[in-house]
Amino acid sequence: MKTALITGATSGIGKATARIFAEEGFNLIICGRREGRLNELKEELRKITEVLSLSFDVRDKEEVFKKIENLPPDFSNIDILINNAGNAHGLDPIQDGSIDDWEAMIDINLKGLLYVSKAVIPGMIDRKSGHIINIGSTAGKEVYPNGNVYCASKHAVDALNQGMRIDLNGKGIRVGAINPGLVKTEFSEVRFKGDAEKAEKVYQGFEALRPEDIADIIRFVVTRPYHVNIADLIVMCTAQATSTIVDRKL
Ligand code: NDP
Ligand code: 8X3
């Protein structure tokens, strides 16, 4: 049975992916900072599969390596890594942006993804098998007003997705990215620091993607035959054409 490690499994896309992977019967390592949420999800999913919860902040590199290098034997061979943990922090013009927000996005979306990947990849190389899915964004394919540093962090994920695929070529490891457009999760609440009204407005007047839509695509990607690697996928809701062109019926 395959073992999948999902970062950012306490909410949104990561949580929906954990649920869909449980249906597939995968052993799950669910990660995030909020232990209470991890425990709740573990309670729910352990009825159908084996689940281990690992609470750590992806910014804390010592913790990332300690947790991933000391997995119990039943979970230590990670077949699938979903690099999903991440968020936007703020939506300000570059001249007004908060340095704390910039650092959070670079430390979580980029450096955190690197730490987790570095902890997981050696085992995949030893076993000559593995599948890494990097959750990028349309913000990694284009830049929108005030998106500056978030877009930069996701462009970096796009570059790393390509770089990982090149460097791991011939080692039996599949690497690919899924780049969603607007998905209704806690993403905008985090971006606007808990301002629920502002967050709600992002998704007003059209039917945004749901986290389950992305999870379903991730399921498709990981269940292709071994010789098929979906290298890079952009997914938008029907109402969205680009980051800034969204057909809102307001
Ligand atoms: P959510 O806010 O719903 O989920 C974010 C997840 O990331 C949470 O589980 C959170 O867990 C985890 N996370 C955030 N910071 C850290 C950290 N420092 N250490 C460990 N885990 C962390 O957002 P989404 O589900 O929408 O986002 C998931 C991914 O999808 C992100 O990479 C995002 O950039 C990307 N994405 C989202 C889109 C959208 O429109 N929603 C579109 C395109 C891409 P916890 O707080 O418990 O640590
Ligand atoms: C999330 C999509 O457009 O809010 O990455 O940046 S967007």
Q: CB within 8 A of 50, min separation 6: which ones?
A: 1, 27, 28, 74, 75
Averaged pLDDT, 112-122: 99
Averaged pLDDT, 220-239: 98
Q: What is the pLDDT of residues 163-181, one digit of tens each?
A: 999 999 999 999 999 999 9
CB atoms within 10 A of CB 149: 23
Q: What is the pLDDT of residues 15-71, one digit of tens each?
A: 999 999 999 999 999 999 999 999 999 999 999 999 999 999 999 999 999 999 999
CATH class of 3-235: alpha beta
Listed by start position, the domains of the chain span: 3-235
Ligand 2 contact, 243 CB (< 6 A): yes
Average pLDDT of every residue of the chain: 98
Q: Which of 115, 144, 150, 203 is catalytic?
A: 150
Averaged pLDDT, 95-99: 98
Which of 84, 113, 160, 240 has most ligand 1 atoms within 8 Å of its beta carbon, as the pocket-test mutant?
Answer: 84
Ligand 2 contact, 87 CB (< 6 A): no
What's the pLDDT at 163? Answer: 99
Ligand 1 centre to CA of 135 (Å) is 10
- pLDDT for 205 beyond 90: yes
What's the pLDDT at 39? Answer: 98
Contact 138, 179 (CB under 8 A): yes
Q: What is the pLDDT of residues 179-200, one digit of tens each?
A: 999 999 999 999 999 999 999 9
One-letter amino acid identity for 188? Answer: S
| Cα 151 → chain centroid | 15
Which of 5, 6, 11, 107 has most ligand 1 atoms within 8 Å of its beta carbon, as the pocket-test mutant?
Answer: 11
Q: Is 212 exposed, middle or buried (0-12, 13-18, 19+ CB in 10 A)?
A: middle
Averaged pLDDT, 212-223: 98
- pLDDT for 250 beyond 90: no
